[in-house]
Amino acid sequence: DWNMPDYISEAVEMIRQQVGSDEVILGLSGGVDSSVAAALIHRAIGDQLTCVFVDHGLLRLDEGKMVMEMFGKNLGVKVIHVDATAQFMGHLAGVTDPEAKRKIIGREFVEVFQAESAKLTSAKWLAQGTIYPDVIESAGKGKKTAHTIKSHHNVGGLPETLNLKLLEPLRELFKDEVRELGVALGLPPEMVYRHPFPGPGLGVRILGEVKKEYADLLRRADAIFIEELRNTKDDDGQSWYDKTSQAFAVFLPVKSVGVMGDGRTYEYVVALRAVQTQDFMTAHWAHLPHELLGRVSNRIINEVRGLNRVVYDISGKPPATIEWE
Ligand code: XMP
């Protein structure tokens, strides 16, 4: 039985006791867990918290802007925005293997975060949005390795060499409790109830080599898809965004022929993926209404120059995974 206002005041009190007058840094990813952790810690210690937001250039459309607006402007949290796009793109150039891409993104993320944190010399604590399922998962890690299909590198991973004490105020919470807490702390519900987004971001949604040009096209297609899902309601009044567990666009580095006016086009393809699942271990492809799919396809092809074909992924998991890489 859990009472939110009581929970918040207890958590705030505990954080204050734990850190005293020390300074705390936190890696903000734009995801739910680190966002809620930031909001809670900020409620407890205000300006003693500094967030570092590493933008790897593989985020969704306007995500960086939204994070800065919500935390910096609305909540008054100190946030350092590091645009490391060039560095990430540089290291990813020529790399096509999915696991190699994950490793590079994870490694660079830690490196950029660490370099930025090292400048905050007065910080004594590193805060993380670790939640209860993460605690369980890492406790069982040794057993699972034989069956690891993807490394699932979470770029929120911890730089161990910083010599900071760990502050993990969400360690005992389940995901739905974290979401409730986030809303109670004033985070927008549409942010707190967002579909999961993988740590390597669009890096695993651009098949093969990652290029900024591809990421820019993908971001726009993905934003159109998500906007239409949010704006289209099923008969029961629920939006298709809320009816699906995860939905996104995937960039295929393949060109196909199309016609536009009097001309012939030769441009890239995007695939749309939308799944329904309880646990993300197995998933069904979502039976989205054909009108919705048609509208998304028309908009993407009309609005995003460089894309001339849209396909819908009708593969279940297993055998397909949710992400394409
Ligand atoms: P798959 O593709 O394995 O995905 O069916 C299952 C869930 O995990 C997410 N996913 C990741 N999350 N880092 C993450 O933080 C990753 O490297 C990664 N790969 C997949 C995926 O988005 C889905 O929710």
Fold of 205-312: GMP Synthetase; Chain A, domain 3 (3.30.300)
Residues 200-219, mean pLDDT to the nearest whole number: 98
* Cis peptide bond upstream of 319, omega within 30: yes
**What angle is formed at CA 292 by the lines to CA 287 and CA 295, rounded to 5 degrees?**
145
Going by pLDDT thresholds of 50, 70 and 90, the confidence category of residue 84 is: very high
Residues 219-226, mean pLDDT to the nearest whole number: 98
Identify any residues that bridge with 285 across adjacent strands, giving them in sequence order.
275
List for the chain the helix, strand, coil content (%; round to 5): 45, 20, 35
Tens of pLDDT, residue by residue over 262-320, are 999 999 999 999 999 999 999 999 999 999 999 999 999 999 999 999 999 999 999 99
Confidence at residue 138, expressed as pLDDT on a 0 to 100 scale: 80
235 is in an annotated binding site: no
pTM of the model: 0.93
**Ligand 1 and 200: CB distance under 6 A:** yes
Q: Cα(65) to centroid of ligand 1, in Å?
A: 24
Tens of pLDDT, residue by residue over 127-166, are 999 999 999 888 776 544 434 455 555 544 555 666 899 9
32 is in an annotated binding site: yes
Cβ neighbours of 41 (radius 10 Å): 26
CA distance 239 to 243: 6
- Per CATH, is 4-192 categorized as 3.40.570.10? no
Residues 53-58, mean pLDDT to the nearest whole number: 97
Cβ neighbours of 121 (radius 10 Å): 7
Going by pLDDT thresholds of 50, 70 and 90, the confidence category of residue 54 is: very high
**Ligand 1 and 101: CB distance under 6 A:** no
Confidence at residue 137, expressed as pLDDT on a 0 to 100 scale: 83
- Please, what is the end-to-end C-alpha distance for the chain in angstroms? 40
- Tell me the domain boundaries of the chain: 4-192, 205-312
Residues 209-217, mean pLDDT to the nearest whole number: 98
Residue of 102, 104, 150, 204 to mutate, ligand 1, most atoms within 8 A of C-beta: 150
Residue by residue, DSSP assigns 247-304 as EEEEEEEEEEEEEETTEEEEEEEEEEEEEE-SSSSSBEE----HHHHHHHHHHHHHHS
**Ligand 1 and 239: CB distance under 6 A:** no
Give me the chain's average pLDDT, please.
93
Which secondary structure element, helix H or strand E, spans residue 228, and what is its range?
A: helix 212-231
Confidence at residue 2, expressed as pLDDT on a 0 to 100 scale: 76
Ligand 1 atom closest to 321 (CA): 5
Task: Name which residue sits closest to atom 19 of ligand 1, judged by CA.
Answer: 152
CA distance 157 to 160: 9
